[in-house]
Amino acid sequence: MNRYPLWKYVVIALALAIGLIYTLPNFYGEVPAVQVAPVRTTQKVDSTLLERVEQALAQVGLKPTGITQDERSIKLRFADTDTQIKAKDVLQQALGQGYTVALNLLSASPQWLASIGALPMYLGLDLRGGVHFLLQVDMPRALERAAERYQGDIRTLLREKKIRYAHLTRERDVVTLRFREAAARDEARQAIARAYPELELREGASGEEFLLTVTLSKAAQVKVQENALQQNLLTLRNRVNELGVAEPVIQQQGVDRVVVQLPGVQDTAKAKEILGRTATLEIRMVDEEAMQDPARVQAAVASGQVPFGDELYYERNGQPILVKKSVVLTGEYITDAQAGFDQNNQPAVHINLDGRGARIFKNVTRENVGRRMAILLIEKGKTEVVTAPVIREEIGGGRVQITGMDSTEEARDVALLLRAGALAAPMEIVEERTVGPSLGRDNIEKGFNATLYGFAAVAVFMVIYYRFFGLISILALATNLCLLVALLSMLQATLTLPGIAGIALTLGMAIDANVLIAERIREELRNGMSPQAAIAAGYERAWDTILDANITTLIAGIALFWLGSGPVRGFAVVLCLGILTSMFSAVMVSRAMVNLTYGRAKRLTKVSI
């Protein structure tokens, strides 16, 4: 009765073998590496890049211990962190701005393991160090900006169609048109409805005037929000690429949030600065008429009496400047921006605009030669005039040069900002978790020690208390640990510090199944059953209980996973997986060992339990 058919042994052996193989990579540790990748995701890594990398390193006599290349990146392993850092600097200089060169840690496990997909567990930020940000996109602002665009479009449309209106105003995301005559309103209404079917139009009256209020339809609002989020995701991705992080995570969470995780980032201040830059760019015209009258400028500065349709800002050198409210171009039209030098060898930024942007820009510059246009940077409600160059001639083709940068450094910063694209709507950090690298190492060590000591204590107790059965239980428990780690490695689930605590806890709870079985066997023996029968009965009767007890814990684990976030989720994953592996190891594996030991004995008189 205590014999397993061959297939069961085979299944168990197979599970153990797979478990061992996939646990293996976790023992090799990590080696310092440098990761090279093109900034543009569309650009593939090819052999010429590899050659350049190898050449650059050979020139300074640095030799990587291993090189791996895939479509997205080249990874170079180094013997120690000193050479790693040196290599990073060398490569950064040799490759220039088009590539990110990042420090990374790679698993030191042999190639054959990696080739079958056996990777070490994916460590959470609290274990490897790094930054976690949760960013909230300011959706009301995104809607407002959409309304702003429509306001401009409607103005142009009405002008083209020669429809006369009295006022065109906007209050947050509601645009209101005022007409003197009902006929003009109806005409406008038809024209707008035809040109922009996504807008909702409502008529009204106010005294003598006929009103037309324009709002975005619900569907259009959703679309605006989706687009805003997508654009911000893209922008963040570009910015993170500029940062040079090896394995960044940038994901949407919910409808209006973005998670950014930057493992191994040491300079968190810099990371925050670049990510947190909620900058948007606007190009507007300077009100030259007003600027020519120093008294009006004075009045604006002194008493806030800004001419109608203007806003007062300050240039970098502190000079007040009056800028028109209407926006010519926003950052959305910018496709590329590079730092460089102008004809006089002064730092400058070269901008490329997309087709639509180029057209608008051409028209505006043609009409405004000799006047100044201001480039505004809006960060967290603070607007700064980056530069206000004079338009010398009509600029076509969408190639724009901005001069007047203080330094090459500034030119580079502005270019990065422009290139990374302006955000569709501002974002704010609503959650941040930063863990320094030394704390990460501490956490791993502490978590590992706690698990080890806990396991040892349980092992000693079990062997003393249940002797041979205790030994089997401990072997089963070790199997459980191995399978759990293998499963976590296979799924590449994120292991966090609470996750490690979860592993330890799972071990403590997993032994429960063995205790249940052993106690049951003892009881059956006391009741006078023969040893073989007692073993069989013990396993069978305990099964129901084990199942019931584990399912309730599983319910808790699943709810935790569903509702938890970050570290807690890591704990939940471990708890759930641990329950599954523990049922397998405590019941199947321990039974197999017992069967192999006692099952063949013809006349078993004594069980060591």
Partner 1 sequence: MSLELFRLKRDIPFMRWARSTIFFSVALIIGSVVLLATRGLNLGVDFTGGTVMEIGYPGAADIPAIRAHLAKNGYGDAQVQTFGRASDVLIRLPVKPGVTSAQLSERVIVVLRAQVPQAELRRVEFVGPQVGRELFEDGSLALLVVSIGIVIYLALRFEWRFAVGAIFATAHDIFIVLGVWSAFQWEFSLTVLAAILAVLGYSVNDTVVVFDRIRENFRKTRMTDVAAIMDNAKTATLSRTVITSGTTLMVVLAILFFGGEVLWGFAMALAIGIVVGTYSSVLVASPIVLWLGVSREDFIKPPRPESGAVV
Q: Between residue 421 and residue 450, which ones bind partner 1 under the rule CB under 8 A? A: 428-436, 438-439, 442-443, 446-447, 449-450
Decide: helix, strand or coil at residue 591. Answer: helix
267 binds partner 1 (CB under 8 A): no
Decide: helix, strand or coil at residue 237. Answer: helix
Out of 149, 359, 412, 522, the residue judged to bind partner 1 by CB under 8 A = 522
User: Residue holding tokens 């976030």?
Assistant: 565
Find out whether 43 and 106 touch, Cβ atoms under 8 Å.
no
What's the alpha-carbon Rg for the chain, to the nearest Å?
34
Out of 321, 349, 572, 573, the residue judged to bind partner 1 by CB under 8 A = 572
Report the Cα–Cα distance between both ends of the chain, in Å, rounded: 19
533 binds partner 1 (CB under 8 A): no
CB of 411 to partner 1, least distance (A): 25
Q: Which is nearer to partner 1, 157 or 471 (CB)?
A: 471
94: left (phi over 0), alpha (psi -120 to 50) or beta: alpha
Find out whether 337 and 329 touch, Cβ atoms under 8 Å.
no
76 binds partner 1 (CB under 8 A): no
Binding mask 107-146 for partner 1 (x = CB under 8 A): -------------------x-------x-x----------
Question: What sections of 202-246 are H helices per DSSP?
Answer: 218-243
530 binds partner 1 (CB under 8 A): no
- Read off the tokens for 146: 């959409």
DSSP state of 65: S
298 binds partner 1 (CB under 8 A): no
455 binds partner 1 (CB under 8 A): yes
Beta strands 279-286; 167-171: pairing state: unpaired
Binding-site residue total for partner 1 (CB under 8 A)? 79
Q: Which is nearer to partner 1, 315 or 379 (CB)?
A: 379
Q: Which is nearer to partner 1, 184 or 579 (CB)?
A: 579
Stretch that binds partner 1, among 92-100, 111-119, 226-234, 513-521 (CB under 8 A): 513-521
Angstrom CA distances, 150 to 83, 198, 214, 224, 251, stand at 56, 11, 9, 12, 30
Stretch that binds partner 1, among 371-379, 386-394, 480-488, 548-556 (CB under 8 A): 548-556
Give me the phi and psi of 123, to 5 degrees please.
Answer: -85, 135
CB of 18 to partner 1, least distance (A): 26
311 binds partner 1 (CB under 8 A): no
**HSE on the CB side for 265, CA within 13 Å?**
29
DSSP state of 432: E
Find out whether 473 and 463 touch, Cβ atoms under 8 Å.
no
Stretch that binds partner 1, among 99-107, 239-247, 550-558, 585-593 (CB under 8 A): 550-558
Interaction residues for partner 1, span 462-501 (CB under 8 A): 462, 464-467, 497-498, 501
- Burial class for 521, CB neighbours closer than 10 Å (0-12, 13-18, 19+): buried
Out of 548, 602, 603, 605, the residue judged to bind partner 1 by CB under 8 A = 548
- Beta-carbon contacts of 27 under 8 Å, excluding residues fewer than 6 positions away, are 109
Binding mask 355-394 for partner 1 (x = CB under 8 A): -------------------------x--------------
Q: Which is nearer to partner 1, 256 or 310 (CB)?
A: 256
Q: Which is nearer to partner 1, 37 or 575 (CB)?
A: 575
CB of 451 to partner 1, least distance (A): 8
